[in-house]
Amino acid sequence: MGELKIPENRKIVVGVGSALMDLLAMEPDEFMARLGVEKGGMNLVDQAYIDDLVAQTTSPPSLVSGGSACNTALGVAKLGGSGRFVGKMGNDELGESFKLDLKNNSVDPVLFNSKTPTGRVLSVITPDAQRSMFTYLGASAEMHPDEISLDCFKDAAIVHVEGYLLFNRDLMMAVLKSARENGSLISLDLASFNVVEASMDILENIIRDYVDILIANEDEAKAYCGRGNEADTVTALSENVDVAVLKLGPKGSLIAHQGQVFTISPMGSGEAVDTTGAGDLWASGFLFGMVNGYSFEKSGQLASACGYEVCQVIGAKIPEDGWTRIRQLL
């Protein structure tokens, strides 16, 4: 007990998901109130809507490569591991910037091309550090099941899939089947309570049949398996998987494996500036730990440190001094 069986001689973590550029905007609560949108969720929008929203921001948003699974793969690489990202970008300047950023951060890019513009996300960060996302998927939504091959997952120890792929069910199934055929473990991050609510008719079957590691925050877990105390919730999450994670924000996290629950304390004492990427970078630390044979406790502590450091900055990119502090845990 206390270990996950990783495929032998494999260390690569492959993220699969949306290739998106992140536009980060700090806005007052009134901005969200004016839109009439619940804070903390992910909202799919069209190109005209996101362009209009960007025009309403107080100052021009900052721009960084993003997408949930991409952030995780990049975090694994920054820890000294092997990260790969599979997604689809547009034949445009944003797409080239996205690809270059991956290469500069030692992530192996497997990027398909489209004539549709590269997708982007406006993350509106309110004073309470909550981030609300408005996502124009663009080219990222056009990744086709036929483009997914075993080569995408060559030598992958873990294939980490963002829950947003559930909006393209044929693609999700192609990824899961190819990853399983390749002998890789499969990690699924439930991504957003909106995603869970929209996918309940297939989610339980997918998790039971394919998923080894299930990662959720409190809102996602509540949407998936109902309300209960935290220990009951993580136990419910773990029913059909080898490992389940319940992220509790500033309270830390719980990890369940074979009937045992590990309590992971939060790291650091600073107030969160922005929670963008917190869950993605948590997954980086945890999956890096898993493929390197760390215990659940140590993997959880590393994950907690990654999640903490990214909350101290705007956006999902931890600066180099933050990575230095995290690496000291290794």
The structure's pTM equals 0.91
Question: Which segments of the chain does DSSP mark as H helices, in order?
Answer: 29-35, 47-56, 68-78, 93-104, 169-181, 193-210, 218-225, 230-237, 278-291, 296-310, 320-327
Burial class (CB in 10 A: 0-12, 13-18, 19+), 49: middle
Alpha carbons 17 and 190: distance in angstroms, whole number: 12
The secondary structure of 134-174 as a DSSP string is EEE-GGGGG--GGG--GGGGTTEEEEEEEGGGGGSHHHHHH
Q: What are phi and psi of 49, to 5 degrees?
A: -65, -45
Amino acid identity at 302:
L
Cα 102 from Cα 90, distance rounded (Å): 15
The answer to whether residues 308 and 247 touch, using CB atoms and an 8 Å cutoff, is no
- Which residues, in sequence order, are bridge partners of residue 262? 255
Residue 135's alpha-carbon distances to 52, 104, 125, 286, 302, in angstroms, are 13, 25, 14, 26, 29
Mean pLDDT in the chain?
Answer: 93
**Rg of the chain (C-alpha set):** 18
What is the C-alpha to C-alpha distance for residues 172 and 206, in angstroms, rounded to an integer?
A: 9
**Domain residues of the chain, as ranges?**
12-19+68-117+139-327
Compute the distance between CA of residue 218 and CA of residue 126 in angstroms, rounded to an integer. 20
**Model pLDDT, residue 3:** 65
* 206 vs 72: CA distance, rounded Å: 21
DSSP conformational letter for 2 = -
pLDDT tens digits for the chain (330 residues)? 456 889 989 999 999 999 999 898 999 999 999 999 888 888 999 999 999 999 999 999 988 888 999 999 999 999 999 999 999 999 999 999 999 999 999 999 999 999 999 999 999 999 998 889 999 999 999 999 999 999 999 999 999 999 999 999 999 999 999 999 999 999 999 998 989 999 999 999 999 999 999 999 999 999 999 877 898 999 999 999 999 999 999 899 999 999 999 999 998 778 888 888 899 999 999 999 999 999 999 999 999 999 999 999 988 899 999 999 999 887
- Class for domain 12-19+68-117+139-327, per CATH? alpha beta
**How is residue 235 written in tokens?**
């136990």
- pLDDT of the residue at 269: 76
